């Protein structure tokens, strides 16, 4: 199994990727994950203020903290092409101001303000009586998704090696 991750992989997806990696059940491929390794609750105080309470931290089964560090892939595969909008979305937990630090002290402090991600553009739904854009099933393997194609190449290679 190959698990694809990137800087947009956060929280629960990092826990799953880290657990599969720790138990050697999957190859984690892609780029460093976001690093959201805590559960925080905002409690209103009633006078227009609030308190943010950290109630839990996430660790992988082998005890690695995810907070402000994320999951490092087994095989790093960068995206093939980046647009300016893509670069703005490469924000990780450690880039955020006043982020919770990693208990092992390995978080890198970043004093620059984090870039704000752009909102997604909604895709209009087909109008009443209109059919979907294509009658054939969607092609789940995009020819332009470099990371996905590298994951498929790895799976093909592992299949070949397992037959020897």
The single-letter DSSP state of residue 93 is G
Write down the catalytic residue from 11, 13, 74, 101.
Answer: 11
Active site residue 24: no
Write down the catalytic residue from 7, 9, 13, 22.
Answer: 22
Active site residue 90: no
Q: Name the β-bridge partners of 29.
A: 4, 75
**Interatomic CA distance for residues 133 and 128, integer angstroms:** 13
CB-based burial label for 85 (10 Å; 0-12, 13-18, 19+): exposed
Nearest to 147 by CA among 6, 41, 19, 49: 6
Nearest to 5 by CA among 88, 96, 57, 77: 77
Give ∠ CA 78-119-146 in degrees, rounded to 5. Answer: 20
Write down the catalytic residue from 7, 9, 36, 69.
Answer: 36
Active site residue 36: yes
Where are the extended beta strands (E) located within the chain? 2-5, 27-30, 38-44, 50-57, 75-76
Q: Which residues does the annotation mark as catalytic? A: 11, 22, 36
């Amino acid at each position: 199994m190959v698990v694809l991750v990137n800087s947009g992989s956060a929280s629960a997806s990092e826990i799953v990727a880290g657990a599969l990696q720790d138990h050697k059940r999957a190859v984690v491929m892609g780029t460093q994950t976001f690093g959201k390794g805590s559960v925080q609750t905002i409690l209103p105080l009633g006078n227009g203020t609030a308190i943010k309470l950290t109630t839990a931290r996430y660790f992988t089964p082998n005890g690695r903290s995810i907070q402000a560090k994320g999951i490092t892939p087994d095989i790093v595969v960068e995206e093939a092409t980046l647009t300016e909008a893509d670069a703005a979305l490469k924000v990780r937990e450690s880039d955020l101001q006043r982020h919770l630090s990693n208990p092992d002290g390995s978080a890198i402090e970043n004093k620059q303000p984090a870039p704000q991600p752009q909102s997604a553009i909604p895709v209009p739904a087909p109008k009443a009586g209109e059919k979907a854009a294509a009658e054939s099933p969607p092609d789940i393997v995009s020819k332009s998704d470099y990371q996905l194609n590298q994951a498929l190449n790895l799976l093909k290679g592992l299949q070949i090696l397992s037959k020897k």
